[in-house]
Amino acid sequence: MTSSRPLTSDFVAAIDLDETGWLLDEDTGEPVAEHHLARYFAERLAPPSWATDIIVYVHGWQTSPRSAARAANRLRDLSEHAFITSPNRYPRLAEGGFRPWMLAVRWPSSSRVGRSGYEQIRERAHAMGARHGTGYAAHVIGRLLGYLDAERPNPAGAQVLANREGQWLHLVGHSFGCRFLGEAVQWAAEASLGDTLSWTVAEELPSRPFTADSMLLFQMAAPRSAFGSLFPSLLPGGDGGHDGAPLRGPVVTTYSRHDRATGFWHLRAEGERGIGHSGMASVPLEPYRIRMRRAVERYPFDNLNHRFVSIDASDFYVRGKRLNPAGAHSDHLRLESAHLLLSLADWSR
């Protein structure tokens, strides 16, 4: 399978996966050989020294490569706008600045709209991403995260906030892209390869090989109990056999009752509504439940300082609820979403 050349800039980069989840060379459209992955990442995806935050964005259903690049650009632009216009809402970011570098992970997610199309992409996402299956997305994205983690300066080196240097790593997914991130983080945490995520920043997690500073999952296309059934190794004491969790920061999910894709279609495809429509279930841990805040309202630390946070965005994610067959499933590219991402970045300091 060939791929169009990525739309890239100094601020947004992109990689493309084929239908098996393997990485494609941006010049030739051919798969990158296994033994060339590390070199390819180093040549094409070195985090720029000016960046304060590295954001890995994995798109969801019905997103073309061009649309994925636009979505990553849009989220970055909204985040920069929110920070520049109101830096007082993010005091920790204001001390060191906020200069995001966005990396979009693109995969073939287009299908017919409706149940058959939703089921087709659900099966493709599962086949591509399941780390114990025949797909490679978890392996490739896990290796990518490992490279980014190893290359970024350690943001926990200094103890004084004002003088802290380094780059923070945030994982952002939408729809089925959230599944890829969950599987990739588990793969990287469980693998013993030297080029997976490799350094420990949190003293309370000494047994973990790496950390990411936050994971924000917009309108996740997965069963409400997914974090107990599909992603157990993200949890403390999960089946990966480690004492700590592979994420330093919280796992934050959004949902909207206007999301027809993870409500109506997910119910018919998987027998229950998804996280993107009804929020996370109380399995295996009770999530902290809050409503999404307006962009002018700060998130208190206590709102986000939990292993899991389930956020009701029904007041904001509304576009498409009447006429779009998927409802408001893709209405996450909003200023309120950027505000949430910035708040996580701010509190990660």
Tally of residues, the chain: 349
Domain boundaries, given as residue ranges, for the chain: 12-348
Q: What is the pLDDT of residue 154?
A: 66
- pLDDT(82) > 60: yes
Give CA torsion, residues 225, 226, 231, 235, to 10 deg: -40
Q: What is the pTM of this model?
A: 0.88
For residues 117 and 115, give the distance between their C-alpha atoms in angstroms, rounded to a whole number: 5
Contact indicator for 144, 195 with CB cutoff of 8 Å? no
Higher pLDDT, 2 or 111: 111
pLDDT-derived band at 112, boundaries 50, 70, 90: confident
Contact indicator for 148, 102 with CB cutoff of 8 Å? no
φ, ψ for residue 40, nearest 5 deg: -60, -45
For residues 149 and 189, give the distance between their C-alpha atoms in angstroms, rounded to a whole number: 12
For residues 234 and 244, give the distance between their C-alpha atoms in angstroms, rounded to a whole number: 9
pLDDT in tens, 297-335: 999 999 999 989 999 999 999 998 888 888 999 999 999
What tokens appear for 225 in the block?
């109990």
Burial grade of 319 (CB within 10 A; 0-12, 13-18, 19 or more): middle
Q: Which residues pair with 288 in a beta bridge?
A: 309
For residues 272 and 261, give the distance between their C-alpha atoms in angstroms, rounded to a whole number: 12
